Amino acid sequence: MKKVFKYYIERLSNLLIFLILLIGFYIAIKYLFVFFAPFLTAAAISAINEPIIRFLEQRTKLNRKICTVLSLTLSICVIAVLAISLLFKIYTELIKLQSNLPNYVTSISYFLSSYYDKLNTFYNSLPINLQEVFKSNTFAFLPKLEAVITAIAGSIITSITSLPKLGIFITVTLLSSYFISSDKKNIRNFIYRQIPYKAQKSFYNAKNDVSASIFGYFKAQLIIMFITFIISTIGFIIIDTGYEVLMGLVTALADGIPLLGSGIVMVPWIILNLITGNFRMALGLLSVYLFAVIVRQIIEPKIVSTQTGLHPLVTLISMYFGLIIFGVVGLFLGPVIMIMLKNLHSSGIITIRKEFQ
């Protein structure tokens, strides 16, 4: 009887811990993340730069602070060169797109005008009550369209006005990354001293597992996006779209959006070419899109499960709950929280399921 009572008490306590952690994650992400975002980003940068810092320490025998400065400088320079090269290529392709834009507009206008008479005849043949419904819906749609355009313009203005905040964010992030990397041992020892001795091993294992799994999750997403970029760019070169790198990058970034994926870019592009009568290009784009989707469906479960240790079904469930609780951002946060809970369970800090003994 005591064993049964003890078993249910343990199950209840584990369930309470699980619920408290979920509530804690919700509060932290919903209300506190904005305050700690630069420092969390700095910690991630520090973790990425750590192998380079260790390499410089071993080879040059320089002070860790100097190695940290060299590592950060090298990383910033590499990222800046790649970003400038990519932006220059995108700029040239945007100029090319701008010069061809009037042709696209003319083609679409010609297509619409060719169907105008048919649509007008069809509209006049409708009963009066249906014509009134059509008019009312059309007039009701215009304010909504105006609201959407206003919202887009407002978001652009907000983005421009937030540039000073972005500069402060980057500065704080880089400085924090330097301090975290240069004083890593002292910071780590300080944190460990706050934890009871008996719990230090469990905390250490949980920290390593959680960090590795979360890093693995984002690594998996970046790998998939990179593969999509390569496939799309090569496909666009073969069918000669004229904007290979630009559209390859846009397609890869769209592919990182859960549920929607690259279809949010490719499907309208295919439809646009069908409207303008460029059936050869539409067929080529459809082939590239289908090939990229098939490759993604083949590699995604393997890459994600390998990097995170989560079953694809668990990943899907966590994405759905994340979407319900946090909105679109939850599509990314859901799997991250599930990874953390899984590793806390594996390390023995919490026990979500325990066999009866």
Q: Between residues 307 and 56, which one has the greater pLDDT?
A: 56
Residues 176 and 227 in one domain: no
- The mean pLDDT value for 164-169 works out to 78
- Domain of 234 in residue numbering reads as 203-357
123 located within any domain? no
Residues 180 and 291 in one domain: no
Residues 225 and 249 in one domain: yes
Q: Decide: 72 and 175 in contact? Cβ < 8 Å.
A: no
Q: How far apart are CA 210 and CA 47, in angstroms?
A: 13
128 located within any domain? no
115 located within any domain? no
230 located within any domain? yes
Residues 173 and 156 in one domain: yes
Residue 8: the pLDDT is 62
For the chain, helix, strand, coil in percent to 5 are 90, 0, 10
Residue 161: the pLDDT is 62
Dihedral in degrees, nearest 10, Cα atoms 268, 140, 154, 248 = 0
218 exposed, middle or buried (CB, 10 Å; 0-12, 13-18, 19+)?
middle
pLDDT per residue as tens digits for the range 266-304: 888 888 888 777 888 889 889 999 998 888 878 776 776
At 39, the pLDDT band (50, 70, 90 cuts) reads confident
Helices 33-60, 197-239: axis angle to 10 degrees equals 90
114 located within any domain? no
Residue type, 44: A
Helices 330-346, 197-239: axis angle to 10 degrees equals 140
At 356, the pLDDT band (50, 70, 90 cuts) reads very low
pLDDT per residue as tens digits for the range 304-326: 666 666 776 777 788 778 878 77
Residues 100 and 167 in one domain: yes
Number of domains in the chain: 2
Residues 3 and 99 in one domain: yes
Residues 228 and 267 in one domain: yes
252 located within any domain? yes
Residues 149 and 227 in one domain: no
53 located within any domain? yes
pLDDT per residue as tens digits for the range 127-152: 777 666 666 666 565 566 556 556 65
Residues 78 and 56 in one domain: yes
Q: Between residues 281 and 91, which one has the greater pLDDT?
A: 281
Residues 77 and 175 in one domain: yes
